[in-house]
Structure 1
Amino acid sequence: MTRHQRTIMIGLMTGMVLNVFEMSVVGTAMPSVVAAMGGLALYNWVFTAFMLTSTVTLPIFGKLGDQFGRKWVYCGGLVAFLAGSIACGLSPSMAWLIASRALQGLGAGAMFPSTMAIVGEIFSPAERGRASAYFGPVFLVGGLLGPVIGGFIVDGLGWRWVFYACVPFGLAAMVIMLSALESKPRQPGPLHLDIAGAVLLITATTPILLATRALDNGLSWQSPQVLGLFALTLLAGAAFVWQENRAVAPIMPMSLMRLPIFAVSAVTEFLESGVLISVTMMLPLLAQGVIGLSPSATGLLMTPFMVLIILANMGTGQAISRLGRYRSLAIAGFVIQSIGLLALALLPPGGTLAHISAGVLAAVGLGMLIPIYTICVQNAVPKAQIGTATAGMQFFSQLGESIGVTLIGMAFSTALLKALPASLRLAGITPDSVADLFRPEALAKMAPTSVVQLRQALAVAFTQVYWIWALMAIAALVITVTLLADMPLRRDEPVFDETDELPVPGT
């Protein structure tokens, strides 16, 4: 790695610290926010607003980075994120905070695809695995220490400083990127902006993300609101495909969607992201609800799993760079993950050492898969379209997270309701009573037999979730084995010229 590459990587990692820290501390600060400003009914919108704007704008900013250069898209996103952070800290009301979080999400939507596209621009395909491994410690430190640091900030300075604390990181990243990253001249020829495509993409994506939130909040599949949102997604999605087929400079070229390696990678990333996010969100529930650990002990249990995921991620990145291949590593990751998840599903319900061992296998497999598909897609497209392809992969990953968490959460709630003994239901205990397992004062009021039965029902419900995770992993494994091509990673500059078009399948 040259000195120039190292400087840019430091800037990108500093910007990533900003994003990871902010995402991990907001949840810690929210109880204090609600206590200060009220607005509990709007609580979820603080997270939904960020998720919406960061997801729907990913392909748009990826395309703009290809057209205008990634330096200005990245730095513009950084400015928006910092402005949103300051506005969050100044919020006089929950509505203001939600709008400010939406602005933060807009900035993140520009920064996320630009980060990996910049890595793809300054490193050859074979070097990108090693370079992407440097982001692993950022996620590890930010994810583990963020809530702890956030708690100290809230206790010592107040919740507003959770948002102000991001500003120094952002300014440091801005100085580094402005000084180190070169400005690429805009591609010659007339400028074509696919405004209609951008509007249709937002119109198609927003309803399905809102539908997942509505389902999370208890609405049924058959409710008019959910059905209407899905119908709007289908109509706008069809219009988006029609528009992209006729646009001069489409946001998401259909030639990219028809490229086999992109299509396979997008579907696989969608499935894998659904597994990854739901595993990390539900493991604390398993630790506290089934095993009966305290919150601090749960944190200690989660730490090795997170470390394993990050170490496997870093190791795979290094291996990709050494081998110049990715398919065998992808297959190995899915095999290890599938074995771990199948073992969890086949073990008797509970939380034993055998369950933890199976979870370790699943964590290693999950971590191995994180860097692979973005690298293989970047290797298969022209350098001038790396931003579009990278943003497309992140877009499908975000969709997989939102939809996967919702569907798995609904399946878990249904399984838990069926697993509750009739005696508990007659006593008025419902799936919502699981929350009592995390409150010592409520737990003390429950009969010991009821506590045992509730933990057993929770363990049985988790078995159903293990099967869903395992089937998703196996489906992704089958897709990878049968359809993923193993293109050698180039160790020099991409063979495509900046003005090349995407290769057409079958030619």
Structure 2
Amino acid sequence: MTTTEPSVREELFGASHRAVTVGIVLLISLIAFEAMGVGTAMPALAADLGSVETYAWPFVAFIASTVVGTVLAGRWCDARGPRLPLLVGPVVFGAGLLLAGLSPTMSVLLAGRVLQGFASGVQGVGVYVLIAAVYTRAARPAVFALLSASWVLPSLVGPPVAGFVTDRFSWHWVFLGLVPLVVVAVVLVLPAVAGLRAPDGEPPAARPGLVPAALTAAAAVSALTWAAEDPRGGRLAVVVGAVLLLGLALVRVFPAGTPRATPGIGAVVAGRWLVSGAFFTANAYLPLVLTTTHGWSITAAGSPLVVGSLGWSAASAWQGRRPDLPRALLLRAGFALVAAGLALLVPVTLGLVPWLAFLGLALSGAGMGLAYSSLSFLVLSHSEQQEVGFHSSSVQLADQMSQAVFVGLGGALLAVLVPTVALPVLVTGLVGLAVLGLGISPRTREA
């Protein structure tokens, strides 16, 4: 009896799609390696080109330009198709790597980071639109499982490799070493991209104010990222103001109905906001909990994050082999696992049973593997041809913005409360986000 799995595997790695599958996985892996490696190399980079005061700016420049690239790519893909973003994006990313790797000053480095961030946003949207154009519905869960796996290896080996390269050679090679891989990715994706055409039918509906809203969101997230580094005094006011400004901008760049999680694409984007904010914020603060409250070393405190990454990859691979399961049901299961896993972290923040961090991250990571891939699938299912770019950019903005907002709010809590109070309050609030996502999951069902 013929099964679904061989046909899906053939679609991904058969002669017609093998190059594009490997190419998009490589594109996402490059972004992941760059993200993981820069954080490791940043102390040496700041010591060489700047100072502690400029430490946050390479991150701020990347995040702000990613927002702009994500919004503009969504609009372009709906009007003209993903061909140009998928050709220009990697080239700009490679140029940013070269500029950063050869930079003699902090200002030149920041210019390189702007190019990298912009290209990262453009590529992310282009890949989603390419998946909608190239792969069948049955193959998409497996494709998104591969994209999830594209982040696992970089998260495991990226920091130690970047540390070795920085110590043995120079931080410059953390950027320059990725340039040849960009060329390979472009060569692999080029055949599939060259044949893509602009979407048929009516042009996408006009979205007035989209570009100003994107620039406003970029400014707000830059201010929030900067202020969250030390949210005290005047910076605390900046955190609050940036969150309010960001909320006004997101009304324009998200689909109508997102704040209310209305059935359909509104609930899908809202679900991505909730699950990303809950999981990634917990990941950001768990090492702080384990080092300050339980006295673990930095290396030991990072171990639960590795467990979470492996759980994510395993669950994502599992759902990818089951394309016939309802994605809204898998999303509900994913939110339940995220909520349960984060709930196990609450006693850890209270100074109790630190080893619960491993079980908590294993459960919440598995939940992310189900929820994240399901939401990616549902984005395409709820999108007409002329909306795929806009909706794809919306879910990726939801990822970026929710992490900035909730990590920033966590810093604000630490500024006004003692850590033994702030951290339990923060993680309990993140559990609430996951429970809210559990409640709205049925609204993502396909008609």
Provide TM-score, normalisation by structure 1: 0.77
Change (3 A) 1:269 1:228: closer
Does structure 1 retain, via aligned residues, the 8 Å contact 2:380–2:388? Answer: yes
Paired with 2:194 and 2:304, the residues of 1 have a C-alpha distance of 44
Paired with 1:19 and 1:66, the residues of 2 have a C-alpha distance of 23
Change (3 A) 1:221 1:380: farther
CA deviation after TM superposition for structure 1 residue 213, in Å: 2.3
How many residue pairs get aligned? The number is 432
Alpha-carbon deviations, 1:403-425, whole Å to 9, x = none? 111112322444425xxxxxxxx
Change (3 A) 1:266 1:378: same
Paired with 1:327 and 1:207, the residues of 2 have a C-alpha distance of 34
Aligned counterpart, 1:345 = 346
Aligned counterpart, 2:337 = 336
Alpha-carbon deviations, 1:116-138, whole Å to 9, x = none? 22112211223210111112332
**Structure 2 unaligned blocks of 5 or more:** 1-10
Does structure 1 retain, via aligned residues, the 8 Å contact 2:341–2:360? Answer: yes
Aligned counterpart, 1:260 = 263
Identity between Structure 1 and Structure 2 (%): 24
CA deviation after TM superposition for structure 1 residue 345, in Å: 2.8
Q: Show the 5 A alignment for 1:208-357.
A: 208-216=220-228, 217-219=230-232, 241=252, 260-319=263-322, 321-323=323-325, 325-345=326-346, 349-357=351-359
Aligned counterpart, 2:44 = 32
CA deviation after TM superposition for structure 1 residue 233, in Å: 5.2
Alpha-carbon deviations, 1:185-238, whole Å to 9, x = none? 335799899696343222331232134224413255897756765676577667
Paired residue secondary structure (1:260): coil
Matched, 1:172 2:132: no
Paired with 1:21 and 1:118, the residues of 2 have a C-alpha distance of 22
Alpha-carbon deviations, 1:141-183, whole Å to 9, x = none? 1111111111111122211111101101100011111233343
Aligned counterpart, 2:439 = 478
Paired with 2:88 and 2:340, the residues of 1 have a C-alpha distance of 44
Paired with 1:222 and 1:48, the residues of 2 have a C-alpha distance of 15
Aligned counterpart, 1:462 = 423
Match of residue 67, structure 2, among 55, 60, 65: 55
Match of residue 141, structure 1, among 146, 153, 159: 153
CA deviation after TM superposition for structure 1 residue 261, in Å: 1.0
CA deviation after TM superposition for structure 1 residue 49, in Å: 0.4
Q: Show the 5 A alignment for 1:306-455.
A: 306-319=309-322, 321-323=323-325, 325-345=326-346, 349-416=351-418
Does structure 2 retain, via aligned residues, the 8 Å contact 1:340–1:362? Answer: yes
Paired residue secondary structure (1:340): helix
Aligned counterpart, 2:142 = 130
Change (3 A) 1:289 1:9: same
Paired residue secondary structure (2:170): coil
Paired residue secondary structure (2:17): helix
Aligned counterpart, 1:446 = none
Paired with 1:285 and 1:158, the residues of 2 have a C-alpha distance of 28
Q: Which moved more, 1:29-38 or 1:77-86?
A: 29-38
Change (3 A) 1:237 1:161: closer
Paired with 1:3 and 1:385, the residues of 2 have a C-alpha distance of 30
Does structure 2 retain, via aligned residues, the 8 Å contact 1:18–1:166? Answer: yes
Does structure 2 retain, via aligned residues, the 8 Å contact 1:412–1:465? Answer: no
Change (3 A) 1:318 1:286: farther
Does structure 1 retain, via aligned residues, the 8 Å contact 2:141–2:321? Answer: yes
Change (3 A) 1:33 1:71: same
Aligned counterpart, 2:77 = 65
CA deviation after TM superposition for structure 1 residue 91, in Å: 1.0
CA deviation after TM superposition for structure 1 residue 20, in Å: 0.7
Does structure 2 retain, via aligned residues, the 8 Å contact 1:204–1:232? Answer: yes
Paired residue secondary structure (2:432): helix
Q: Which moved more, 1:399-408 or 1:331-340?
A: 331-340
**Structure 1 unaligned blocks of 5 or more:** 242-250, 418-456, 488-507
CA deviation after TM superposition for structure 1 residue 346, in Å: 5.7
Paired residue secondary structure (1:292): coil
Paired with 1:336 and 1:266, the residues of 2 have a C-alpha distance of 19
Does structure 2 retain, via aligned residues, the 8 Å contact 1:26–1:162? Answer: yes
Paired with 1:278 and 1:475, the residues of 2 have a C-alpha distance of 16
Provide TM-score, normalisation by structure 2: 0.87
